């Protein structure tokens, strides 16, 4: 499992991704030592029947980003840590020189971004028509941007935002 750095390709391996998420969640829970963080499997690997890049996305919901600070040194032993103060997110990346395996998004649990990740996952899991539309878009974009992960991700945003808006009305 893992996506070769700088590339975009899709696989359909839900059971493996679910198992990888579960194992990583246990590892994180052991680091956090009973802290009350919410750890969710998000992104396309969390949706049964959806092709996805072989990177498992995890969202960790916290009340305050400072809540994660006591664990940073231990997390830094396992992940590359990127703090984005503009988006109120800390990104933990499980990567090596060849590939990326996990993207772990530490966010405020009440933030719109955190909530939208959960909502979009749940929409895809419950609506096979939207799931198929999204998968078709992903396949098209993976071919178009096979060597540009940022453009691949950016190009999905309008679809995601349209779906989120339509469910909020």
Looking at the domain assignment, is residue 169 inside a domain?
Answer: no
The pLDDT averaged over each successive group of 10 residues in the chain (169 residues) is 77 94 96 90 96 95 93 95 81 89 95 95 96 97 93 95 86
| Domain of residue 41, CATH code | 3.30.460.10
Looking at the domain assignment, is residue 116 inside a domain?
Answer: yes
* pTM (2 d.p.): 0.93
Looking at the domain assignment, is residue 15 inside a domain?
Answer: yes
The pLDDT assigned to 59 comes to 98
- Count how many domains the chain has: 1
Beta strand segments in the chain, E: 3-4, 38-42, 56-62, 80-84, 89-95, 99-108
Whole-number Å distance between alpha carbons of 119 and 101: 23
The pLDDT assigned to 6 comes to 75
Looking at the domain assignment, is residue 103 inside a domain?
Answer: yes
The boundaries of the domain holding residue 118 are 3-164
């Amino acid at each position: 499992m893992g996506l070769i750095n700088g590339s975009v390709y899709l696989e359909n391996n839900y059971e493996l991704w679910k198992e990888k998420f579960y194992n990583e969640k246990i590892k994180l829970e052991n680091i956090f030592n009973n802290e009350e963080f919410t750890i969710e499997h998000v992104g396309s690997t969390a949706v049964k029947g959806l092709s996805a890049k072989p990177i498992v996305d995890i969202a960790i919901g916290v009340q305050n980003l400072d809540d994660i600070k006591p664990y940073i040194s231990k997390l830094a032993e396992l992940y590359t840590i990127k703090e984005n103060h503009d988006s109120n997110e800390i990104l933990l990346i499980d990567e090596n020189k060849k590939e990326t395996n996990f993207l772990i998004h530490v966010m405020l649990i009440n933030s719109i971004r955190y909530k939208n990740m959960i909502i979009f996952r749940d929409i895809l899991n419950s609506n096979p028509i939207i799931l198929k539309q999204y998968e078709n878009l992903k396949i098209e974009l993976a071919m178009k941007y096979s060597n540009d992960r940022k453009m691949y991700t950016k190009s999905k945003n309008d679809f995601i935002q349209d779906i989120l808006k339509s469910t909020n009305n």
